[in-house]
């Protein structure tokens, strides 16, 4: 696949294709023309006696110093070197690729004043699979993701450390030479243009949105299996009941549940007038309300992402009519807030999943199943500790739901006196999404065992397909086995999308 980077916005799918799937990129001809046109504006300002921020001045709190022409190359080089100050573990390859692509997208708008060869160097690194080493800590989310972006700019200059396409860590100069890429010598304004952006937090938001869409559909699958396995009712998911509270996500989740539970012999077995149960517990009955809230939250977050993808974030910027103006568009607040919002709703979806799982294990609540779904309770412990694993993750997710964006630590001698902490919000959301996938996998794993234990009653065709897919790598009920490998198989079943695909082979596309 080839992604064309033009003057307009990239789509979320294009970002995922380049970041995660290694798609190649090409700069559109109109983007190259616009880059060249705005570069002429910057060149005209370079000789102006009037100081222009980022062109002929220092940066941040040092913006009052006028920099003579002969020192401006050093100025840009020094800016990148000094701002490449990250620390801690390496950031994932897909995040760095997303960050670089989104910076390239802003360069392609022509609003930053860089040269065409600088933009082309970013495209060349992406296409060669060269990934700068970026570290966990260093960004305050204002003036954008300075330190992570600076590590990328450093690599384009032929300095610092990178990973090659096969994952080997080596000096950037060596990797660029092997790929036939000429390092860039930055000129006026270019260093600043390469590091002023929300690209890291935005890239992680786009990737999170892609993963969450699949996980929220999988959450409906796991919930349907739990409703069925616990002899719950699907009557509460009726369309007319859900329409009385017309939140879009709630309606979508309920619709999924109806499709997944259609033609279930297990549910039919207790749906008659002789059933004495009045109503199911909240963790079963209120699934659409909780899962739907997550869907609506995600929809809002992706609306913000779409606006950010259409933005040209730099400071200063070259306007359409040729002015060079300072601005505050690099502040990460819009992105940081929805990253935190998603972490909150991720914790809630995981929490209700864990509660549904726990009900399976308690003979006072599981409606006729063995304690802990054990083969011989007392001798066997069944899925007792699988729920402990869920509980530990859910507890962590609650801590990760504490907003990062409410914090701010002033920096740059009080010039940057209010920051977004959007990078931190994005980093914790990535951990939260991984945790949610694991929690849902344990619920699915436990619910599949319960469905087997309801034999000779048969589950719905859709939930049976999901259970049968899991059974390809995880055995059914029996005496205690080593659980950790089986849980990991379930995690991969969820994360790979195979569980969702199994359900959709019966239901068609779930929402």
- Is the separation of the CB atoms in 455 and 397 below 8 Å? no
CA-CA distance, 385 to 381, in Å (whole number)?
8
The 3-class secondary structure across 332-348, one letter per residue, is: CHHHHHHHHHHHHHHHH
Of all helices (H) and strands (E), which one includes residue 482? none
DSSP 440-457: HHHHHHHHHHHHHHTTTS
Q: Is the dihedral of CA 68, 74, 76, 81 positive or negative?
A: negative
- Is the separation of the CB atoms in 390 and 442 below 8 Å? yes
Q: Is 53 a catalytic residue?
A: yes
- Those residues whose C-beta lies under 8 Å from the C-beta of residue 132, and which sit 6 or more positions away, are 96, 100, 125, 151, 152, 154, 155, 160, 161, 162, 172
Q: CA 31 → CA 27, 116, 209, 457, distances in Å? A: 6, 9, 27, 62
DSSP 337-384: HHHHHHHHHHHHHHHHHHHHHHHHH-TTTSSSPPGGG-SSBTTB-TTH
> How distant is the alpha carbon of residue 397 from its chain centre?
15
Sequence-ordered strand ranges (E) for 371-478: none
Catalytic residue from among 53, 277, 388, 445: 53
The 3-class secondary structure across 213-250, one letter per residue, is: HHHHHHHHHHHHHHHHHCCCCCHHHCHHHHHCCCCHHH
Positions marked active-site: 53
């Amino acid at each position: 696949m080839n992604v064309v980077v033009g003057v307009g916005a990239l789509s979320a799918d294009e970002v995922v294709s380049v970041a995660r799937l290694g798609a190649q990129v090409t700069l559109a001809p109109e983007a190259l023309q616009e880059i060249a046109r705005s570069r002429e504006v910057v060149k005209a300002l370079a000789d102006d006696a009037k100081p222009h921020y980022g062109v002929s001045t220092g940066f941040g709190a040092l913006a009052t110093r006028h920099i003579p022409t002969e020192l401006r190359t050093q100025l840009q080089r020094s800016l990148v070197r000094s701002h490449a100050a990250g620390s801690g573990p390496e950031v994932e390859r897909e995040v760095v690729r997303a960050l670089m692509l989104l910076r390239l997208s802003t360069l392609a708008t022509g609003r930053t004043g860089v040269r065409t060869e600088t933009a082309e160097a970013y495209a060349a690194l992406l296409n060669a699979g060269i990934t700068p080493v970026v570290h966990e800590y260093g960004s305050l989310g204002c003036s954008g993701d300075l330190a992570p972006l600076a590590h990328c700019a450093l690599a384009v200059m032929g300095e610092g450390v990178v990973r090659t396409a096969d994952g080997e860590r080596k000096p950037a100069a060596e990797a660029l030479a092997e790929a036939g890429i000429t390092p860039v010598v930055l000129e006026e304004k270019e260093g600043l243009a390469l590091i002023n952006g929300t690209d890291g937090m935005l890239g992680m938001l786009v990737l999170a949105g892609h993963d969450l869409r699949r996980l929220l559909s999988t959450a409906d699958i796991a919930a349907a299996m739990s409703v069925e396995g616990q002899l719950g009712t699907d009557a509460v998911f009726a369309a007319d009941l859900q329409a009385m509270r017309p939140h879009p996500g709630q309606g979508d989740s309920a619709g999924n549940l109806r499709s997944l539970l259609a033609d279930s012999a297990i549910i039919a077995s207790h749906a008659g007038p002789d059933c004495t149960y009045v109503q199911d517990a909240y963790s079963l009955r209120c699934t659409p309300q909780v899962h739907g809230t997550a869907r609506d939250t995600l929809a809002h977050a992706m609306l913000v992402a779409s606006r950010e993808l259409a933005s040209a974030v730099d400071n200063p910027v070259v306007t359409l009519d040729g002015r060079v103006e300072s601005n505050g568009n690099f502040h990460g607040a819009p992105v940081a807030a929805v990253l935190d919002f998603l972490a909150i709703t991720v914790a809630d979806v995981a929490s209700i999943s864990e509660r549904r799982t726990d009900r399976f294990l308690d003979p006072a609540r599981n409606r006729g199943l063995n304690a802990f779904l054990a083969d011989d309770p007392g001798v066997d412990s069944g899925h007792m500790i699988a729920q402990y694993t869920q509980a530990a993750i859910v507890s962590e997710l609650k801590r990760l739901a504490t907003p990062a964006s409410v914090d701010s630590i002033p920096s740059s001698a009080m010039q940057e006196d209010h920051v977004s902490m959007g990078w931190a919000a994005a980093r914790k959301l990535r951990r939260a999404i991984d945790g949610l996938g694991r929690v849902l996998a344990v619920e699915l794993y436990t619910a599949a065992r319960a469905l087997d234990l309801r034999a000779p009653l048969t589950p719905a065709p859709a939930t049976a397909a999901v259970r049968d897919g899991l059974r390809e790598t995880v055995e059914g009920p029996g005496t205690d086995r080593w659980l950790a490998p089986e849980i990991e198989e379930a995690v991969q079943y969820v994360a790979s999308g195979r569980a969702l695909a199994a359900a959709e082979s019966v239901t068609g596309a779930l929402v």
